[in-house]
Amino acid sequence: MNQHQESVYLQGHIIDSLVLAKVLDLILMMGGTFDLEDVHIGKTREEPSHALIRIRTASKTLLGDILKAIQPHGASVKCEVDCRTASAPADGVLPDEFYATTHLPTQIRLNGRWLDVDRIEMDLAIVVNEEGSAAHALPMGDVRRGDRIVVGREGVRVIPLQRPPERDVFGFMESQVSAERPHGHIIADIAARMRQLRERHRRGQVDSKVLLAGGPAIIHAGGRDALAWLIEEGFVHILFCGNALAAHDMEADLYGTSLGYGLTAGRAVPHGHEHHLRTINRIRAIGSIEAAVASGVIKQGIMAACVRQGIPVVMAGTIRDDGPLPGVITDSVRAQSAMRAAVPGVGLALLVASTLHAVATGNLLPATIPTVCVDVNPSVPTKLADRGSFQAVGLVMDAASFLSELARLLGRPA
């Protein structure tokens, strides 16, 4: 986290004297930024005002220079304390008062030093290692008795997102959801990012993976070929889905239908509702999707592309699944862990046509990862934002149109 910060306190008759304005101007003029964390303005002329200002700089030297420059104007560094910790009382149980994380970059103060919290994710706890030299976010279920868990709020600070240098749709970091906004420029910005990320991924650079979490509507709506093309061309590097997306993708390959509907004819075919069951049964007989692709039973589509490109697929099961397909993780907690394990290294997340997988994936992503949520139903991006993933850009449109346009912009032949 290339950022240094310190909170200072300013009090007295700082408003009419313009001392507060002067201090804030000094911070900006010297190249720092600030947040006014708490401002109280005196109600009468006699009553003093006070302000708590958090100063941020790109370098420690600059932070020191700014503190030195504003100190004569009465700004005093707020007394900081270490965070408190308590032992987990039992496996899977957090101490009372445990600190619950946000998905924003977070630091804790230990032995007078600020430490970054690794693997940050919303709604987890923070565990500190025995030496007190490192900390990471930890799900409740993974806690072991005796783990040193951060409690209370002192000594914990959350760092707001910095506006990214790219001046594209992700720069606004807001999840306005509307079916009535033009989509073209948003998809163009996503394509530009994906082109960049593919280059970076090929050069082995960090945080260059594109994660796609998708629902079966991708297949029903006709987005299968576009997504398979994106995977084959190296634009997508991780796939999260459920039993259904995989089943209907392979159903399409074996029978030309998706949930019994002929994908080209566009109408229900006789006994078509059995196709996905027969597909699942066939793959179960073969033993795995990988083997089905390797043996040539499954030739085209999303799953075939994933196997050929060797990209990791996490399939999380639900209580309405048929089968399920081999490889579907039916234990939700295990599925969540598998998804969590795949998140590090992600530089862009596309959540397409799935409420369940979109929200589940959104919960696992740090706010620093640019995220797009595409659904015909505006309630999905809204729900995602309501659950705290405010960084997600919402696109109200159907999955096939989105994927086809994205693939076209990335060079897929018409």
Partner 1 sequence: MNRLLVCPPDFFGVEYEINPWMRLSNRVDHEQAMRQWHALMQVFEKDVGVALERMTPIAGLPDLVFTANAGVVVGHRAVVSRFRYPQRQREEAYFEHWFRGHAYDIITLEEGLFFEGAGDLLGFPEYWFGGYRQRSDIRAFTVLSEHFHREIIPLELVDPRFYHLDTCFCPLSGGELLYFEAAFDVYGRTAIAERVPDSLRLTVPEVEAVKFACNAVCVGKHVVLPTGCPTTQHWLVARGYETHPVQLDEFMKSGGSAKCLTLALD
By beta-carbon proximity to partner 1, the closer residue of 19 and 350 is 19
Sheet harboring 209-214: ordered strands across?
328-329, 313-316, 238-241, 209-214, 346-352, 371-375, 392-396
38 part of the interface to partner 1, by CB under 8 A: no
Residues 51-90 that bind partner 1 (CB under 8 A): 72-74, 76
CB 73, min distance to partner 1, A: 6
320 part of the interface to partner 1, by CB under 8 A: no
By beta-carbon proximity to partner 1, the closer residue of 72 and 165 is 72
Q: Which of 8, 19, 67, 410 binds partner 1 (CB under 8 A)?
A: 19
- Beta strands 346-352 and 209-214 are parallel
120 part of the interface to partner 1, by CB under 8 A: no
Judged by CB under 8 A, the number of residues near partner 1 is 17
Angle at 162 between CA 158 and CA 165, to 5 degrees: 160
333 part of the interface to partner 1, by CB under 8 A: no
By beta-carbon proximity to partner 1, the closer residue of 11 and 281 is 11
167 part of the interface to partner 1, by CB under 8 A: no
Stretch that binds partner 1, among 6-14, 120-128, 238-246, 392-400 (CB under 8 A): 6-14
By beta-carbon proximity to partner 1, the closer residue of 12 and 139 is 12
Q: Which of 37, 40, 48, 202 binds partner 1 (CB under 8 A)?
A: 48
Q: How far is CA 203 from CA 166, 198, 235, 240, 395, in A?
A: 20, 9, 14, 24, 30
Report the chain's C-alpha Rg in angstroms. Answer: 25
Contacts of 131 (CB under 8 A, 6+ apart): none
- In contact, 368 and 82? CB cutoff 8 Å: no
CB 180, min distance to partner 1, A: 46
DSSP, collapsed to helix, strand or coil, labels residue 180 as coil
Q: Which of 1, 4, 16, 165 binds partner 1 (CB under 8 A)?
A: 16
By beta-carbon proximity to partner 1, the closer residue of 20 and 108 is 20
By beta-carbon proximity to partner 1, the closer residue of 18 and 28 is 18
Contacts of 94 (CB under 8 A, 6+ apart): 88, 125, 140, 143, 149
Q: DSSP labels for 207-256?
A: T-EEEEEE-THHHHHT-HHHHHHHHHTT---EEEE-HHHHHHHHHHHHHS
43 part of the interface to partner 1, by CB under 8 A: no
12 part of the interface to partner 1, by CB under 8 A: yes
Contacts of 37 (CB under 8 A, 6+ apart): 7, 52, 53, 54
Q: Which of 3, 13, 152, 345 binds partner 1 (CB under 8 A)?
A: 13
By beta-carbon proximity to partner 1, the closer residue of 75 and 228 is 75
Whether the upstream peptide bond of residue 413 has omega within 30° of 0, thus cis, is no
Residues 384-403 that bind partner 1 (CB under 8 A): none
Among residues 399, 346, 354, the alpha carbon closest in space to that of 371 is found at: 346
- In contact, 135 and 126? CB cutoff 8 Å: yes
Q: In this structure, which amino acid lies at residue 51?
A: A
17 part of the interface to partner 1, by CB under 8 A: yes
184 part of the interface to partner 1, by CB under 8 A: no
By beta-carbon proximity to partner 1, the closer residue of 76 and 176 is 76
CB 64, min distance to partner 1, A: 20
Stretch that binds partner 1, among 42-50, 285-293, 315-323, 357-365 (CB under 8 A): 42-50
Distance CA 53, CA 179 (A): 39
By beta-carbon proximity to partner 1, the closer residue of 42 and 388 is 42
The encoded tokens of residue 80 equal 């900081």
332 part of the interface to partner 1, by CB under 8 A: no
Stretch that binds partner 1, among 44-52, 83-91, 176-184, 403-411 (CB under 8 A): 44-52
By beta-carbon proximity to partner 1, the closer residue of 41 and 90 is 41
21 part of the interface to partner 1, by CB under 8 A: yes
Distance CA 218, CA 235 (A): 17
- In contact, 244 and 215? CB cutoff 8 Å: yes
Q: Which residues bind partner 1 (CB under 8 A)?
A: 11-14, 16-19, 21-22, 45-46, 48, 72-74, 76
